[in-house]
Amino acid sequence: MPDHCQDKAIPDWAEARRFFARLGWMSFGGPAGQIAILREELVERRRWLTPPQFSAGLSFSMLLPGPEAHQLVIYAGWKLHGLRGALTAGALFVLPAVLLVWLAAGLYAMFGQLDWVQTLFGTVRPAVLAVILAALVRMARHHLRGTRAWLPAAAAFLAMQFYQVPFPWIVLAAIAMGVVDNLVAANTATATATTQRTSVPWRTLSLGLLAWWAPVVLAGAAFGWDGLLASLGFFFSKVAVVTFGGAYAVLPYVADHAVNQAGWLSATAMKDGLALAEALPGPLVKVLPFAGFLAGWNHPAPLSPWVMATLGALVTAWVTFVPSFLFILAGAPLVERLAENPQARTILNTITAAVVGVIASLAVWFAAGVFAPDQPAMLYATITGLSLWLLVGRRWPIPAVIGLAAGGGLLRALY
C-alpha cells in the first residue's frame, strides 16, 4: 500500500475522485502544461503529495514509454488511494480526451473534405508547425548540452530523415548507447548501492498483460487476425512500448505505417489529427485514437463506418493508454529507488537526446506539407512566425494559439 506522510492532507475517496474527474477536462497545454498543472494542484495547493514524492513520480514516468503526464496521474492516484486510486485517476484523466477525439474525428470524417474546412485547417497547420518548433527548441535547450548529447540527436535525425529507419530501432540504438556510456563510466559503487533484491509483482504483470491484450484477441477472433481491428491492436501495442518523447517523437513512425504502408488514412488527415489533438485536453497521444477512428471509417467492412470507426478508436485508445497503468503499477513500489538510479538516468538522457532528433525529423515532414507548392507560402510563413513568437516570446498557451489560427482560417474561408 502507498505510504503517507503525516504533514499532508490526505483526501478522502470522494474528494480525490472529484478532483481527477475535473482534471481530465482542464489538462490543456501538452505534457509540460499538464505536469505544471499537476504540481500546482497536488503539491502547492492541495498538498496531497510532497515535493520529493512528486519529483520521484515524475522522474520514474520519464523513464517509461508512453505519455508521462498520464503516468504521473496514475502514480498520484496510487500514492493517495492504492490500486483503486491509480485505476480511477488514470481512467478519468484520459476519458474526456477519448470522448472528444471520437466526436472530433467523426465530424472530421463527415465534413473534413469540405473546402471551407480545409481552408480552416490550412491556416491551423502552420500554427501546429510552430508548436512543434517551439517544443523542439525547448527540448534542445534543456537536453542537448555538450557534444555527447548532440551526437545521438544528430544520428537519429539523419537516420529517420535520409534512411527511413523506424522509430523502434532509434530507441533501441539510444538504449544501447546509454548502456555503453554506463559501462564506460563504470560507476560500480552507485550500482551496488542502488541494486537491491526486490520481488517481481507477477500478479500485477499478469493481470495487466491480460487486460492489455484481451480486446486485441477478441478482435482477432471476431474479425480475423489480419482484419483491421487486430492490425490496429498489434501495431499500436508496439507503438506503446517505444513512445519515448510523446506523440511528437512517434508520429513520423505512425504516419509512415498508417499512411504509406497500411493506407488507413491520408497524410493530410494525420496532420489535421495532430492539430485537433493540440486544441483538446488530455495527453497529446490521443492523436493515435484519431488515426484509429479514420482507419475504421475508411475501411468499415463488414460493419457500418460509424461502428467500425468507433471500434477502431476504442481499440487504439485501449492499447495506447492501458500499458501506462501496467508500467506504473508494476514499478510504483520501487519508484523512489529507481528514479534515482544513475544508470537508468544515463539511458533516459540518451533516449531523450535521440528524441530531439526525431522531433526535428517530424518538423521537416510537417513543414513539407504546410509549404507544399500549391499553398500560399508567404501567408503560412507569417502564421508560423507569429505563432512561434506568441508561444515562445509571449508564452501563450497552445490552445489559444491554435484557436487564433482557426479563427483566422474561418475568416479566410468566409471572405
Q: What is the mean pLDDT of residues 339-344?
A: 73
Report how far Cα 235 is from the mean position of its chain's Cα atoms.
16
Cell 540504438, residue located? 173
pLDDT of residue 59: 75
> Average pLDDT, whole number, for the chain?
88
Instruction: Report yes or no: 291 and 270 within 8 Å, Cβ to Cβ.
Output: yes
Express as a percent the part of the chain with pLDDT over 90: 54
Residue 185 has pLDDT above 90, yes or no: no
**For 14-23, 107-116, 192-201, 285-294, which range has the lowest pLDDT when averaged over its residues?**
192-201
Which pTM does this prediction carry?
Answer: 0.86
What single-letter DSSP state applies at residue 285? G
From CA 322, how far away is CA 63, in angstroms rounded?
A: 17
Cell of 254: 505512425
Q: What does the pLDDT look like over 141-180, one tens digit per residue?
A: 888 887 788 999 999 999 988 988 988 889 889 888 888 8
Residue 404 has pLDDT above 90, yes or no: yes
Cα-based torsion angle of the residue sequence 343, 349, 350, 355 in order, rounded to the nearest 10 degrees? 150
Cell of 17: 475522485
Q: Which residues contact 23 (CB under 8 A, 6 or more apart)?
A: 37, 38, 41, 73, 92, 93
Q: What does the pLDDT look like over 343-388, one tens digit per residue?
A: 877 887 888 888 889 889 989 999 999 998 988 999 999 999 999 9
pLDDT band at 323 (very low <50, low <70, confident <90, very high): very high
From CA 52, how far away is CA 221, in angstroms rounded?
A: 46
From CA 71, how far away is CA 76, in angstroms rounded?
A: 9
Domain boundaries, the chain: 96-414
Residue 8 has pLDDT above 70, yes or no: no
pLDDT winner (highest mean) among 27-31, 292-296, 334-338, 399-403: 292-296
Q: Please count the other Cβ atoms lying within 10 Å of the Cβ belonging to residue 138.
A: 14
Instruction: Report yes or no: 339 and 63 within 8 Å, Cβ to Cβ.
Output: yes
Helix orientation angle between 115-143 and 377-388, rounded to the nearest 10 degrees: 40
Instruction: Report yes or no: 133 and 353 within 8 Å, Cβ to Cβ.
Output: no
Q: Please count the other Cβ atoms lying within 10 Å of the Cβ belonging to residue 415.
A: 5
Express as a percent the part of the chain with pLDDT over 70: 92
Q: What is the mean pLDDT of residues 208-228?
A: 96
From CA 277, how far away is CA 108, in angstroms rounded?
A: 13
Q: Find, among 340, 262, 344, the residue nearest to 296 by Cα.
A: 262
Residue 87 has pLDDT above 80, yes or no: yes
